[in-house]
Amino acid sequence: MKRYNYGNLIWKIKEKCGTQKAFCEQTNISVSTLSNYLSGKTPMPADFIEDAVEVLGITTDEIGLYFFNPSAEKTPLPV
């Protein structure tokens, strides 16, 4: 599964909602579900992304920056 960097999303949640708990209340998910999304354990469903975009005031042009920003893959150094 492809990994994404959610650093921008975490920053935006803090900026707009103050806490992840407040964000979760506004998007009707549990804090543990958000944790699973942000850690990559569970893929984010489209309906959650739609709700998050609305709550956070993210434009359609910015969705990739917050939800589909590729994570830097750790590659082994050549020997």
For 18-56, the pLDDT digits (tens) are: 999 999 999 999 999 999 999 999 999 999 999 999 999
Asked whether the beta carbons of 69 and 4 are under 8 A apart, the reply is yes
58-73 pLDDT, tens digit per residue, is: 999 999 999 999 876 5
Distance set, CA 5 to CA 12, 18, 48 (Å): 13, 20, 17
- On whether residue 75 sits in a domain, the answer given is no
Tell me whether residue 1 is in a domain. Answer: no
- pLDDT-derived band of residue 76, with 50, 70 and 90 as boundaries? low
What's the structural domain count of the chain? 1
* In a domain? residue 26: yes
30 CB-contact burial (10 Å; exposed 0-12 / middle 13-18 / buried 19+): exposed
The model's confidence at residue 9, banded by pLDDT at 50, 70 and 90, is: very high
Range of the domain at 23: 7-66
Q: Which domain CATH number covers 47? A: 1.10.260
> Is there a domain that residue 72 lies in?
no
Inside any domain, residue 42: yes
Is 52 a domain residue? yes
